[in-house]
Amino acid sequence: MNLSEQKKHIVFTLTPIFISCIEEVKYQHSDIYAIAIHCGSGFSSLGFAASTLQHLNEQKLKHPKEYWSILEYSVSEWEFVNYQYDKFIDLNQYIDELLEEFYEEDLTDDEINSFFSDVCLEVLNKTQVTLSSNDVLLSLQFSDPSDSGIAIMKTIYEALHITPKADKFLPFLSSLAS
């Protein structure tokens, strides 16, 4: 299978899983403000993360104000992290095997990052139609991003252009690199 076919396969597999997770969380909570493809280091795994305003406000009561942007924008602090992980097991096994194949074929980290960035951007673009509000922060996030991970997160976010939160989220990403 060539790279184009592999991308299509992952997009075809990930999109319905991701959308079903959104629908499940939307059914339970009407105040979702953030949704992300949650990535393991180097795109070693993909998952779903989301959070609600109720959770955010509860967390703000427990933490000082200077920590609030982390609570709001860092996937690690969200209410639903690795939500419905079992739905992603087969896909992540495929990704693990694919990464081994990529390294055997001497693909560079940049080529691998570009491959998975394209996949995630396509899935996020397809996902936008399931959201009832343009005010939902939709992103790709790594739990503990490297500088290249932060750059990927910014690039994906900027390509989506879907929320007015850019004035807060992009500076938050910049603060991670500091």
- Helix (H) or strand (E) holding 168, with range, is helix 166-177
Query: Which pLDDT score, from 0 to 100, does residue 129 have?
Result: 75
Query: Which pLDDT score, from 0 to 100, does residue 120 have?
Result: 97
64-82 tens-digit pLDDT = 999 998 999 999 999 999 9
Query: Which pLDDT score, from 0 to 100, does residue 108 have?
Result: 94
Query: Which pLDDT score, from 0 to 100, does residue 171 have?
Result: 74
Query: Which pLDDT score, from 0 to 100, does residue 102 have?
Result: 95
Total-model pTM: 0.89
Query: Which pLDDT score, from 0 to 100, does residue 178 have?
Result: 60
Query: Which pLDDT score, from 0 to 100, does residue 137 have?
Result: 86
67 by Cβ neighbours in 10 Å (0-12 / 13-18 / 19+) ranks as middle
Query: Which pLDDT score, from 0 to 100, does residue 18 have?
Result: 96
In degrees, rounded to 5, the angle at the alpha carbon of residue 118 between the alpha carbons of residues 167 and 174 is: 30
| pLDDT beneath 70, residues of the chain | 1, 132-134, 161-168, 178
Query: Which pLDDT score, from 0 to 100, does residue 133 have?
Result: 64
What's the maximum distance between 2 C-alpha atoms anywhere in the chain?
51
CA distance 169 to 103: 33
In degrees, rounded to 5, the angle at the alpha carbon of residue 164 between the alpha carbons of residues 142 and 82 is: 25
Query: Which pLDDT score, from 0 to 100, does residue 38 have?
Result: 97
